[in-house]
Structure 1
Amino acid sequence: MTALLAGSAVRTCLGDGAGTFAALLRGECGARPLPLADAAALNVSAAYHMPDGEPATPFRAARLLAGCVAEAARRAGLDPARQRVAVVAGTGLGELPAVEDRALNGTAVAADDLHFGGAVRAALPGVAEVTTLSGACSAGGHALALAQDLVELGEADAAVAAAADTMTRSMLAMIGKVAPVPARRVRPFDRDRGGVLLGEGAAAFVVVPEGWRGPVSARLAGTGLSCDARHETAPDPHGIRRSMRDAFERSGREPADVGVVVAHGTGTALNDPAECLALHEEVAGPGGGPLVTAVKGAVGHTSGAAALINLDVGVRVLAHGAAPPVVGLRRVLEEGEGLRFVRGEPARCAPGLVQLNAFGFGGVNAVTLLEAV
């Protein structure tokens, strides 16, 4: 079975969905100096933060997510007073900035404030159900899969898959601790990659059933999931491959149908080789297979929002017939040789199927397949 995508809304360091895609096509990098007084102590000098607020601000993720949910619902013409509308919200770090802030002041955060239910209900009155899940960098993909299930099983007339994450000082400190030299940008699939830089992002997509009366942007063929739990942080190529196979089996599509892959592309020593291996073994054909792009070089590591930001890029690839270049990619790593990375400038394309990868800590993986309506 399949579902359709109606209204959507996206926010990254490069702007809304249209602005972000335009910047991707131009090969722009959204990294800028980190505006925190303790940046030097954190050993992090740059980040992909939004220009309209201070990073690590408490409850900022909920505000960004709620704004995207309200905008996506408006664009889709949802009316929760007449329709059963469910919201599934994914995140990696949630409201950790609030916990950090209160901890410094010796106070606690109410449990109800740690999920997005209140913010979503205020932005979309009458919504039937709000579920917050945490799934690291694939949280948005898991939210999307659950939203599709709710619609296909008739449990909701429409479901909103949403996700958001902002920066936290503890995560900034972690990447500063493991980096001998502070990174200045993310360089996916590059031999000279320098590691992780955090980004901020939020997104929401309205998932509706076939036959929806209203504008739609693409068909959601299906999402494959896996959770291998092999290691706390290191990716497992076999688990990644399982999520890819699951996507093809659920959707009834074939790897040969894929014209473009929007890769996870973290620019790290373990993920990039593992993802390349999985793409070689599951998707790439004798001619090198589909075009491969990735967005973290432009927008950073947006954690739980990453899968839905990739989804928005995939929708726009289908609409514009162009795949953006991998920002920051100059010398392809050895494991990626033979893959058709988009480099330097956009690649014209007419993909029958777009594959969207999202892989999280602990082997929590989501692979979505998308096609034109």
Structure 2
Amino acid sequence: MVVAGVDVLTETMYGLLERVQPVPPTRVRPFDRDRDGVLMGEGAAAVVLSRVPGGRPVHGLVRDVAVNCDAFHVTAPDPAGIAEAIREAHSRGGVKPADIDLLMVHGTGTLLNDEAEATALADVFGPDRDKPLVTATKSMTGHTSGASGLLNLVVTLRCLAEGRVPPTVGLDDPVDEAEGFRFVTGEAAHRPLTVAQLNAFGFGGINAVAILEAAR
């Protein structure tokens, strides 16, 4: 099965963004105290999902996925809904917070989204928040909307395969809610990685979390 995501910049997209963010930021700074919004990007990604490799190269395994819709608000996320999706993904994927080596966060750089995501992650990971490396690629690509989840999935698979994690650009002073998490900043980090968590959220309280594993 082929799964693809693609999005381009349109007048409609800019119109929607202008209603929630009238003044565009100069850069995207996920989880930084001085963050002031998101910039849009364009992108496309596709992956082939198969239960049996069938002789093809395997780039990684999807242990499981959890999706919910908390319907909290059109644009303001709810930490409780995000935390519920994370816990469900862990349960379905047979992992605990301490098992996660890499957190590929949603990280839009907006005031509400980053605070809610960090609050939910702190709630779930608790004392294990210092175990995984954390990064937010939207700091480099902007928000590619319909392509963002799959783009992050492709990046996550490369991270697992290469043991290398790209940095979160522009993160100099993390918000209080993100205290204790090991954000990769400055330059790429290198370490063996086996299990990753990928967060992807949407308008209207849609929360999706995937648990990925390095190819054996």
Would you call these one fold, judging by a TM-score over 0.5? yes
Q: 2:191 aligns with which of 325, 349, 352?
A: 349
CA distance in 1, matches of 2:128, 2:154: 29
Q: 2:69 aligns with which of 220, 224, 227?
A: 227
What do residues 147-195 of structure 1 show as CA deviations (whole Å, max 9, x unaligned)?
Answer: xxxxxxxxxxxx1111111111132134335445431221111111121
CA displacement at 1:354 relative to structure 2 = 0.7
Contact 2:97 / 2:128 at 8 angstroms: preserved in 1? Answer: no
Number of the residue aligned with 1:364? 206
For residue 209 of structure 1, what is the amino acid of its counterpart? R
For residue 199 of structure 1, what is the amino acid of its counterpart? G
Secondary structure of the structure 2 residue equivalent to 1:270: helix
Q: 1:251 to 1:212 in 2, by over 3 A?
A: farther
CA distance in 1, matches of 2:132, 2:169: 18
Contact 2:136 / 2:167 at 8 angstroms: preserved in 1? Answer: yes
CA displacement at 1:280 relative to structure 2 = 1.0
Q: Does 1:168 align with 2:7?
A: no
Q: 1:251 aligns with which of 93, 96, 99?
A: 93
Q: Which ranges of 4 or more aligned residues in structure 1 deviate by more than 6 Å?
A: none
Secondary structure of the structure 1 residue equivalent to 2:101: strand
CA displacement at 1:370 relative to structure 2 = 0.8
Q: Does 1:306 align with 2:148?
A: yes
| Residues matched between the structures, number | 215
Q: Does 1:191 align with 2:33?
A: yes
Q: Does 1:322 align with 2:189?
A: no
Q: Does 1:207 align with 2:49?
A: yes
Contact 1:284 / 1:339 at 8 angstroms: preserved in 2? Answer: no
CA displacement at 1:286 relative to structure 2 = 4.3
Alignment of 1:45-60 (within 5 A): none
Q: Which runs of 5+ in 2 are unaligned?
A: none
Contact 1:175 / 1:196 at 8 angstroms: preserved in 2? Answer: no
Contact 1:224 / 1:243 at 8 angstroms: preserved in 2? Answer: yes
- TM-score of the superposed pair, with normalisation by structure 2: 0.94
Alignment of 1:46-85 (within 5 A): none
Contact 1:186 / 1:195 at 8 angstroms: preserved in 2? Answer: yes
Q: Which has the larger radius of gyration?
A: 1
Number of the residue aligned with 2:131? 289
What do residues 241-280 of structure 1 show as CA deviations (whole Å, max 9, x unaligned)?
Answer: 1111121122222221100101000101111011111111
State the identity %. 51
- How big is the alpha-carbon RMSD for the aligned residues of Structure 1 and Structure 2? 1.5
Higher relative contact order (CA 8 A, sep 6+): 2
Q: Does 1:276 align with 2:122?
A: no
Q: Which runs of 5+ in 1 are unaligned?
A: 1-158
- TM-score of the superposed pair, with normalisation by structure 1: 0.55
Q: 1:284 to 1:343 in 2, by over 3 A?
A: farther
Q: Does 1:333 align with 2:175?
A: yes
Q: 1:181 to 1:233 in 2, by over 3 A?
A: closer
Q: 1:261 aligns with which of 90, 95, 103?
A: 103
For residue 189 of structure 1, what is the amino acid of its counterpart? F
CA displacement at 1:304 relative to structure 2 = 1.3
CA displacement at 1:288 relative to structure 2 = 1.8
For residue 112 of structure 2, what is the amino acid of its counterpart? L
CA distance in 2, matches of 1:357, 1:250: 15
Contact 1:175 / 1:197 at 8 angstroms: preserved in 2? Answer: no
